[in-house]
Amino acid sequence: MDSAKKVKKLSFLIVLGLLFGIAAILLRGPHISNSLKRIILPELEMATGQKVIAHNIYINIFPLFVEAKEIKIFDEEGERVVFAKRVKAYLDISGIFDKTVKIRRLVIKEPELTADQKKAAKIIENVKKYLLQEREKKIDVQVVAVEVQRGTVEYAYTDIKTQIAVRGVDGEVILGKVLKIKAASQKVNVKKEGWPEVSAGVSSVLKVKDGTVTIDKLQVNSFGSELTAKGEYAGGSLKIRTALRLLVKTFKEMFHLGSSGEGRIDAEGDVRYRDRKISLDMKLSGDFYLQTLMELLNVKEKIEGFVTVKGDIKGQLDNLKGSGMATMQKGNLYGVDVDFLKSAVSYANGHLNFIDGQGRLYNGHAKASASIALPVVNVFTLDIDFFDADSVPLFKLIGWDPGIQPGKVTGTLHSSGSEFNPAGRFTYTSSKKGNDVLGRVKHIDGDYSMSGDLLALHEIRINSEKSDIRGGGFVDTEKETFDIDYVLKTGDVADLTLPYYSKFQGKGEFYGKITGAFDDPIISGKAKIDDSVIEGYPAGTLDADIKYRKDLLHVNECVLHRGAELHRIEGDIYFKKAKQLFELTNAEFKLHALLKNAALGEFVRIFYQDFKATGRFSSDLNIRGTTENPDIKGKVTLGAASLYDVAFDSASLELRYADQKLDLTQTKIKKGRSLVLGNFSLYPDNRFSYSAYSDSIMISDLVPKPIQGDAVFSVKTEGNGTFDNPTILIDAQVKEGVLRGKQIGSGVVKASIRDKKIEIKASLINEKLSVDAKGRLDADLPWEAKVDIKSGRYDFLVASFLKDVPEDLIVSLNGSVALHGTREHISASAKIERMVLSMYGYSFTNEDVMRLELDDKKISFNTFSLRSGNTLLRVGGSLVVGSEYNLLLEGSSALAPFKSISRKLGLLKGNAEFIMEITGNWENPRIYGGMTLQDGAVGLKDYPQRIGSLNGYLYVDNDRVVLQKLSGKVGGGDIDISGILYLKKFLLKRFYVEAKLANITTSVSK
């Protein structure tokens, strides 16, 4: 029995299974599919107003659902609007007998919607009409839930040229008294013409009840940024509590920005919508790079920096207001680099304001404020007060690099409007000293303003230790040109030229203009320099009209004036290798100079330091060549001057200085009645060469003291070599000569210097006097000479020492002189074999050989005697010239020969016996001795009275001459004289004389 029951159960199950199998096969068959299409598709076409097709529709028994595959909806043009890969309706037919069928869940898999707002509006309108139709309901269909899986939407707003693409849509709608909506999309792309593509992931959870929409969750994710919100919409009013975490990279990806840097902005608060107005009440914080925001806003001005902000924003969307604090690091505002800035920030009426900013810029301190119009940045205001900021970047900011040393700047900067046009005042102080004129600038201050590319400078003052510049003008930063007026005063011109040129000194002022390009400005104007010194030459006052650029100094006119000197220079000086202003090296000259009364020695020493000359010259010179190798050519005339201690009255020559060689050609030198012609060359290695000749040189033109007489000789000389080792040949002939009325005869002199050996041979006074001298040109200059004095008349030798030359003067000599010495020492030994001196009827001869010795300034001689009849004069001793005396004079002599000592003596006769000793200091000698006069007579020229029969005695006691008792005859009567005469260095200084007269006859004029 149990077996029978089992068989029955099994049989029932088999039959039931077969029935289900047959039903499943039948329900999935084409017949059922076509039947369902005829029922369902027309309804869908009626509801949408579009053509609807389905590939297959079947019924599944367990679980019970109806599934349609590949449902497609086409519009009138045949374009597909909707495609759904599968649509399943899970059925609950428990209420079928009550004519009610529930769709527990309607699942739409991988739907694709492609439409624009017109198509969508038309379909929605058709659906609304379909639902409003009054139709007899056979079965009431209730949908409990709708689920969409992996859906795709392509939707276009053609009016606003916007496309929305939604990918990976998953959602669920639970229908009932409370409508619950849950939706998520992996990716939502929004494209609008003129806007960047927006891509985001969206998820939301909503509830709808009694017309109120409750947003339990709204989350949007885009490129790492996230927006979350929750809130409620009811009665046309929306209130949302939202939080935003916005990454800067989201904007960079979304708008394809190229600016570097990261950052984020966090916002949290309420968003309200009411009466078609949106209002915000949110807290903001974050950090970001300004350059990213400026690129987003298409701002072309340079605004950069890493900004940290914290604040709030409130108000309606069309009238938002915000406030907070912002900190910026490593920023740049309109070209101004800012190291650090902290500022209060506010936003209102479309303007973003930075207030009371404190910060650091260019290693200095700053106070700043700014205002920017948003969202279109077409107006801004910027104010900066800066203190001790680095100068280099600040000058670069205003488009001007003056080339000065780095330093610190304090000042102000203000700019407002649609473009960055800064204006303000600045004070610059250098922090170190350079080696050129720009490097020596210590202080600059002034006002500046920019208008576009034009920088205006006002009341500019530039100072160095020795110079001061004041000026103003314009700098075109786009064309890179100057137009500046200036006045420069300097206490030392070298302050402007060092280190490139050091041999120009003086103090003065310049005034003119600076024009031209940044890299080659032109400085033109006039200069006046007092006490100028050029290459060591004191040039006096300099007035110049010049135009200077880095490679050319054009001298329109330069006048130098000092005393009787007046010089004019014009032309050009090139600096072809100069790379910047005042780089005055490698100068090339093209100048013309007219010099008047220039100092000869000082001028030539510009080129030759060892040149020795005095006097003044005038010239017309052309100056070419370079600083290192100038080429000077011209004509020169000189007044009274000297050349290497050779004095002359005037000279003319042609000068050429080239390749460091000085040539003086066609030289004519005059002194008195003498004329010398010749040429002279001086080489860069201090060698020289010369040749000179003259047919008429007067000895009176060579002797510094006046002489009564003259001599004429001719000379021819040439030489070369160095000043240390010259080769010189001299050939001179004495043609004729007279000294104090006495003939000196003719003669020949030959001299030479070779290999430092000096030789002089001379035959003078009609071959009566011969000289043979030798020496060596070295440091000590050793030399020796021998003079042979042949018997003959040498009247002129004595005549040159006498005040009054007697007509019967005869001097006859015979002897020799031997000399030797060095540059510092001289020795001589003279031997006079015979000397005869005749004058005033007396003839003196030496009784023995006269010997004299010279040792530098000391002159020694043996005691020698000169006799004339009964007259005998003995002289002995020595003297040191300029130092001391040690002489003894004694003897008896007629007085007549001594008449020549003074021109005032008209009569001197008589005899005298004397003895005198002269000793002691040269300046204050001591004289002792006495003299007895016999039958003397004395008278002065131009006075008729004579004293005759003069007898008596006088003596000398140091500096006193005591007239003890002198008596004589005068005017037919007697005279007795006594008294004291006071001497100083052999000259009468004062006297006290008493004279007694008796029986004198005289005449008294009426």
Q: What are the tens digits of pLDDT across the range 776-811?
A: 988 888 999 998 988 877 776 666 556 567 777 788
Distance CA 222, CA 285 (A): 19
pLDDT of residue 796: 67
Cβ atoms of 507 and 490 closer than 8 Å: yes
Residue-wise pLDDT tens digits, 720-742: 998 888 999 999 888 776 665 66
Q: Which residue type occupies 132?
A: L
Q: Which of 608, 624, 751 lies closest to 687 in space, CA to CA?
A: 608
pLDDT computed for residue 547 by the predictor: 93
Q: Are 726 and 720 in contact (CB under 8 A)?
A: yes
Q: What is the mean pLDDT of residues 199-204?
A: 88
Do 200 and 219 touch, CB atoms closer than 8 A? no
Higher pLDDT, 705 or 187: 187
Q: Where are the beta strands (DSSP E) in 777-868?
A: 783-793, 810-821, 826-839, 842-846, 850-855, 858-868
Provide the pLDDT for residue 131: 67
Q: How many CB atoms lie within 10 A of CB 737?
A: 22
Average pLDDT, integer, range 179-189: 88
Lowest mean pLDDT among 142-146, 255-259, 348-352, 483-487: 255-259
Please check the confidence at residue 679 and state whether its pLDDT lies above 90: yes
With cut-offs at 50, 70 and 90, classify the pLDDT of residue 222: confident
What is the signed CA dihedral for 31, 32, 36, 39, rounded to 10 degrees? 70
944 or 212, higher pLDDT = 212
What CA–CA distance (Å, rounded) separates 267 from 245? Answer: 7
Mean pLDDT score of the chain: 82
Domain assignments of the chain as residue spans, ordered by start: 24-143, 433-586, 700-839, 840-998
708 — pLDDT class (breaks 50, 70, 90): low
pLDDT at 133 over 80: no
193 phi and psi angles, rounded to 5 deg? -60, 130
Comparing 468-472, 588-592, 978-982, the range with the smallest average pLDDT is: 978-982
Distance of CA 498 to the CA centre of its chain: 10
Residue type, 877: G
Check whether 498 has a pLDDT greater than 80.
yes
| 494 DSSP assignment | H
* CA nearest neighbour of 657 among 633, 622, 636: 633
What distance in Å separates the CA atoms of residue 34 and residue 37, rounded to the nearest whole number? 5
pLDDT at residue 953 tops 80: yes
Distance CA 358, CA 353 (A): 14
Per-state percent for the chain, helix, strand, coil, to nearest 5: 10, 65, 25
pLDDT at 333: 73
Least confident of 23-32, 50-59, 552-561, 667-676: 23-32
Cα 871 from Cα 288, distance rounded (Å)? 132
pLDDT for the residue 904? 65
Cα dihedral 585, 591, 597, 599 in deg (nearest 10) = 20
pLDDT tens-digit series, residues 908-939: 787 888 888 888 887 888 888 888 888 888 77
Question: What digits encode the pLDDT tens for the residues 526-546?
Answer: 989 888 888 888 888 889 999
pTM for this entry? 0.54
Q: What is the predicted pLDDT for the residue at 620? A: 93
The share of the chain scoring above pLDDT 70, in percent, equals: 89
Q: What is residue 402's predicted lDDT score, i.e. its pLDDT?
A: 75
Q: Which range in 441-450, 495-504, 595-604 is most confidently predicted, on average pLDDT?
A: 441-450
Listed residue (952, 1005, 945) closest to 971, CA to CA: 945
Q: What are the tens digits of pLDDT across the range 463-493?
A: 988 889 899 999 888 888 889 998 989 888 8
830-840, pLDDT tens digit by residue? Answer: 888 888 888 76
Q: Which of 46-55, 69-78, 306-315, 361-370 has the lowest mean pLDDT?
A: 46-55
Segment 864-909, tens digit of pLDDT? 888 877 777 888 888 887 788 888 888 887 777 666 555 666 777 8
**pLDDT on residue 986:** 66
Consecutive H or E run containing 73: strand 65-74
Asked which of 41-45, 132-136, 227-231 is least confident by mean pLDDT, the reply is 132-136
Measure Cα distances from 467 to 31, 486, 510, 511, 709 in Å. 114, 13, 11, 13, 63
Question: H or E segment at 98?
Answer: none
Distances (CA, A) of 905 to 218, 621, 804, 938: 147, 60, 9, 8
- pLDDT value at 820 more than 50: yes
Evaluate whether 469 touches 461 at the Cβ level (below 8 Å): yes
Containing H/E element for 507? Answer: strand 504-517
pLDDT for 1006: 47
